[in-house]
Structure 1
């Protein structure tokens, strides 16, 4: 374990947690501000690139896939070569450069808008690959193995993510509106957020993190382990990694539905949702803050519920299954919105359908995302910590590609088919989620057994029940 200033604590947690909280808050502000307007910029014929909905959603899926695939590479580089702290600073610098590249006014580069646009996205993808897996891994590094505060720490960290996400939609939507519909002003706003994240990290990291993240974890592992422990993966480590990969498959299904928020549901909010409140028109980008608002509101409540359940608290696989059910419920409300339209694209639906969908999707996210991050840090061998965190984000990357591919079907056919296409997509996601939840629930006990103690008392009880009946591979 890296050396940490042990006398610096806040609210019962290492002060370094709140440094990482602030760093991630502004990085996520930057990312979600850009994501909130990306598809809208692509389809805008007056101030954007004027792409079709199908092409925009396909690009959105490919971009967000790469954003979550490159952490696999960034995790390996941090684990083996540069360490987590350097990876965060290099990645953050690349992302800031990417945002300001997207912000370059069209008038400066006539005829090269698309080229510059792709350069900006490329910088964001590379930077995120270095930043994303390593800051999450460092949260886990703040705590010794078996420290009961770890899950709570990830809940706090996750709230930081969502404070940034909440601010992003509101601020970037307001900035774009104030700038007369200039999407470049919105991208510049996202760039400012990334610069703030970098400044926070550079100013306070040494004081509050000590040596955490300076030494590549593979090197640190070799220093700490005996020759016996340097051998290939043990059977217990292999079992734990199997759990990460199996739950990763169900994570793909969840995020493929959830990530319709920035694509298909974003277009639905813009085209088919009644956004007038009196004489004020709610900016479409503001809906991207609804999920984050519910996260900040509900996360402490969910955390208290898990705590008060005590020994009856669901295991991680059961929480994942519950997340899929809640995702399906959210899409039932989106089906309701399309039914209200009755196939007529001129009909505007109530924004309450969208808000209700986001609410249930948020509850599902709270049952899956922070639990998954904490689970990876508990199950991953030290020498593979950042690589497996990158692998976890790899699953999210695949999900984002699937999300873009599925969402792009709204653009198949003419305008009159769009409502029917949307209904088919929402219904298909809901059915797939329910079926997947049932399968995962049936597998839950075996997965907990393979965790070998990561689920605490629940594992001990399960192991007694399964002793002699299950073979350890």
Structure 2
């Protein structure tokens, strides 16, 4: 039986899921903001080694959701999976406070994330009866929770880590995960119970509907794998470069370099409502942009943002002065606008075309392209010190551009199937 009472015009369970996701992302991105600097400055890793570790970890957190989705679909159920995953993630963040446990801590976080990531957002649709007009805005609200946590994390955890000590930052991330878990447990009464399906397997649906979409989704996933090689560099090689090359003095203080990681979610807040309004207006006039065409535009936009960095490096090298921090604001503005055209739209496409009997597993499969792309981003990021910065960023621009061309090609091949109405922006791994 659904809870019919509302908060802010939406089911009360949406607020619970919003706050749970917000604190989970606070913990996840709090640790991530510190990770590359902790390895290079505290553990004295070379840039290449740190890049490989960063890429492997970023890949691992998107591999484990494949199995987490399967486990929840077949045996465990969504809500137990979220609780177990949250406990493991909190434990892993606290383990980060001990240098000797650095690698085991990352493994524990990745395993916990595998249970948590695909199973919390899949509960959003269960809050609404069929054809409820409020459901269209539900994922938009949920997406704000993701980005609110991602915005606060570098400001709080990053500052604590840089100013007071790395372990304070990691500890704050662990506390954030505990708060999210407490919110979820307290608010469980506002979430719909999981129904037992035939065979006693929570979430199992006996239907072949949507199975014909699988080859198309595989093609999209391959293109997004390529895209994520460039996308994931902002926490890796871009972070290393900005620490050394960007002039960060403003208003009589030195801006902590981790604060740059808050620009991306900040622009998500600013741009998302404008984009949704624009897309809805175009759809109302009969000019909706198909999902894959929009994704191709997003990939090309990421390429433009990296080309801007390369151009700045060349120009300032000739002029003999440093790149100022306002250019980083512009970079992330272009980068984030492009991101909103591809990642949330792509996840929405996967959710729309998912085979009904493998709904959570298909959503988890979206993260497999993140696994492969992030792993490759670490491998390619390890070549940073063998190249000039402008050459490396141009390579990222080219990779993102090729991904966009592939997406445009898939769009042309499947125009009729992908002429879908605009869908609400679903949660994306910040983009988790």
What's the TM-score, normalizing by structure 2? 0.91
The aligned residue for residue 302 of structure 2 is 327
SS across alignment from 2:119: helix
How far off its partner does 1:438 sit?
A: 2.8
Cα distance in 1 for partners of 2:195, 2:114 equals: 16
User: 1:148-196 deviations in whole A, cap 9, x for unaligned?
Assistant: 65453222211111110000011122212441xx111110011011011
Given the alignment of the two structures, is residue 23 of structure 1 paired with residue 20 of structure 2, yes or no? yes
Residue 40 (structure 2) aligned to one of 37, 43, 66: 43
Q: Deviations over 1:74-108 (max 9, x none)?
A: 1111111110101111001000000000013xxxx
- Of 96, 106, 129, the residue aligned with 1:121 is 106
Q: Which residue of 1 aligns with 2:123?
A: 138
Separation in structure 2 between the aligned mates of residue 205 and residue 372 of structure 1, nearest angstrom: 29
Summarize deviations over 1:416-459 as a string: whole Å, max 9, x none.
x6xx1x212211121232233233223314435345x8x1499x
State the SS of the aligned residue for 1:21: helix
The answer to whether the aligner puts 1:390 opposite 2:364 as a matched pair is yes
Aligned pairs for 1:119-198 within 5 A: 119-143=104-128, 149-179=134-164, 182-198=165-181
Say if 2:288 is the partner of 1:302: no
**Which residue does the alignment assign to 1:282?**
255
Q: Using a 3 Å threshold, how does the CA distance of structure 1 residues 13 and 306 change in structure 2: closer, same or farther? A: farther
CA positional deviation for 1:56 = 0.4
Counterparts of 1:246 and 1:151 in 2: how far apart (Å)?
27
Q: Which has the larger radius of gyration?
A: 1
How many residue pairs get matched?
421
Q: Could you state the TM-score of these two structures normalised by the residue count of structure 1?
A: 0.83
Residue 91 of structure 1, aligned match among 85, 92, 104? 85
Q: Distance in 2 between matches of 1:252 and 1:147?
A: 34
- The match for 1:363 is 337
Deviation of the 1:144 alpha carbon: 5.3
CA contact under 8 A between 1:341 and 1:348: conserved in structure 2?
yes
Q: Which whole-Å deviations, capped at 9, do the CAs of 1:289-322 have from their partners, x for residues lacking one?
A: 0101101111111111111112212111111111
Match of 1:428 among 395, 399, 414: 395
Distance in 2 (alpha carbons) for counterparts of 1:191 and 1:323: 33
Query: Residue 133 of structure 1 aligns to a residue in which SS?
Result: coil
The counterpart of 2:406, out of the listed 422, 439, 460, is 439
Q: Would the alpha carbon gap of residues 242 and 140 (structure 1) be closer, same or farther in structure 2, given more than 3 Å must change?
A: farther
CA distance in 2 between partners of 1:212 and 1:187 (Å): 34
Partner of 2:75: 81
Provide runs of 4+ in structure 1 moved above 6 Å. Answer: 213-218
Counterpart among 40, 59, 72 of residue 53 in structure 2: 59
Query: Can you give the 5+ residue segments of structure 1 that lack an aligned partner in the other structure?
Result: 105-112, 459-473
Cα distance in structure 1, aligned partners of 2:238 and 2:6? 41
Match of 1:372 among 346, 354, 361: 346
8 Å CA contact retained: 1:68, 1:396: yes
Is 2:190 the counterpart of 1:211? Answer: no
Q: 1 CA distance for matches of 2:318 and 2:119?
A: 46
Consecutive unaligned residues in structure 2, runs of 5 or more: 424-432
- Aligned 8 A contact 2:74 2:203 in 1: no
